[in-house]
Amino acid sequence: MKGVLLVNLGSPDSPTPKDVKPYLDEFLMDERVIDVPKLFRNLLVRGIILQTRPKKSAEAYSKIWWDEGSPLIVISERFTEKVRKHTKMPVALGMRYGSMSIKNALQELKDKGVDEVLLVPLYPHYAMSSYETVVVKAMEVQQTFFPEMHLTTLPAFYKNSDYIKVLSESIAEGLKDFEYDHILFSYHGIPERHIRKSDPTKFHCKIDGNCCKVNSVAHHTCYRHQCYDTTELVKEHLDLPEDKVSSSFQSRLAGDPWLKPYTDFEFERLAKEGKKRLAVITPAFVSDCLETLEEIAMEGKEQFEEAGGEHYIHIPCLNDSDAWVSLMAQWVNEWEAKKTLPV
Ligand SMILES: C=CC1=C(C)c2cc3[nH]c(cc4nc(cc5[nH]c(cc1n2)c(C)c5CCC(=O)O)C(CCC(=O)O)=C4C)c(C)c3C=C
Ligand SMILES: [Fe+2]
Ligand SMILES: [Fe+2]
């Protein structure tokens, strides 16, 4: 019997340093997130980052925490519940990090008689630190604990025409009552090094955009390329003016260079250039979370206004909107019926 496993990033159990610390430990000790030799990762994460970050992160989580729990978890649960109503197959939800494990989710499917699973990483774009780590973890868990199960993975859907339509329509809805000077597509950042590492040709990706017009197998795993593709396709779909749209990358951790331009610098640049009315969208995330609700909707607004901007909106992620739920249900049901996957 077939079933579906949805996987998102995960959150701490509560917005306290006590619960944030083990969550960040699991997250940052992932070799696909902090991709340095284990000894050095141990020193960097446990010896330096985890000495101060849990307190700072817990404060940030406290600002966005809901009565029901972490927004990312609650939204993912609502989404899962709604997808269930649109399919005959069992649908389980797991998180890459934290207590809602992939193992428990696969066990839930197994208990319902599932032996053929469609794995859906809830990320539109491929990155070693998001999509890839979910796939690798799910495969490891399957091989260790559920050898009789078979996994198929939904490809990154950043340029799928139905997805672009759903995303564009949600952006259009967000822009309905807002006359904008500029729209910023802010994607989660990654270190530039990850782009080079994920390039199977080892020479294609130049991290300046010059490579992106030359067709290459590297685009299947180039996060930067895929983010810019999403922006271009939405821009085309909504016929947005070229000079009023740009992309940037947020949430960098100190250290190596991360993908540029940096979102916080863009807030300042745009405000200083006289863009008074800014709309920000965050399409690297399918559900609102710490990075959108705190860093963009709260901090970003403050940064933009401090630099001279006057009106600022963050357009919510797709979350559990009917159109997004229907599209996911369409994809999983097509896979069930014909074994086809969206491209
Ligand atoms: C779009 C997907 C994501 C990628 C790619 C990604 C890479 C990445 N992230 C960190 C470090 C942190 N990210 C944090 C939060 C966080 N990251 C994503 C998604 C991607 N991360 C989400 C959805 C969230 C929010 C989780 C939530 O509970 O709401 C955090 C924790 C919070 C904080 O302390 O700021 C860290 C740390 C790295 C290092 C990285 C790539 C190398
Ligand atoms: Fe992150
Ligand atoms: Fe490129």
Q: Which is the closest atom of ligand 1 to the Cα of 125?
A: 1
Q: Which is the closest atom of ligand 1 to the Cα of 73?
A: 28
* Of 116, 120, 86, the residue nearest 8 (C-alpha): 120
Please say if the pLDDT value at position 254 is more than 90.
no
What is the 76 CA–ligand 2 centroid distance (Å)?
16
Give the H or E element holding residue 170: helix 161-175
Annotated binding residue 188? yes
Please say if the pLDDT value at position 196 is more than 90.
yes
CA angle 239, 250, 211 (to 5 degrees): 65
- CATH of the domain spanning 161-315: 3.40.50.1400
What is the 257 CA–ligand 3 centroid distance (Å)?
17
CA angle 302, 305, 307 (to 5 degrees): 110
Contacts of 58 (CB under 8 A, 6+ apart): 12, 15, 16, 17, 19, 20
The pLDDT value recorded for residue 251 is: 93
Q: What gap in Å lies between CA 134 and CA 121, rounded to an integer?
A: 6
Annotated binding residue 291? yes
Please say if the pLDDT value at position 37 is more than 90.
yes
pLDDT per residue over 280-312, tens digit each? 999 999 999 999 999 999 999 999 999 999 999
Ligand 1 mutation target, pool 129, 230, 281, most atoms within 8 A of CB: 129
ipTM over 0.85: yes
Instruction: Name the residue ranges covered by the structural domains of the chain.
Output: 161-315
pLDDT per residue over 168-194, tens digit each? 999 999 999 999 999 999 999 999 999
The pLDDT value recorded for residue 339 is: 77
CA-nearest residue, atom 2 of ligand 1 = 130
pLDDT per residue over 86-118, tens digit each? 999 999 999 999 999 999 999 999 999 999 999
Q: What is the pTM of this model?
A: 0.97
SS3 10: coil
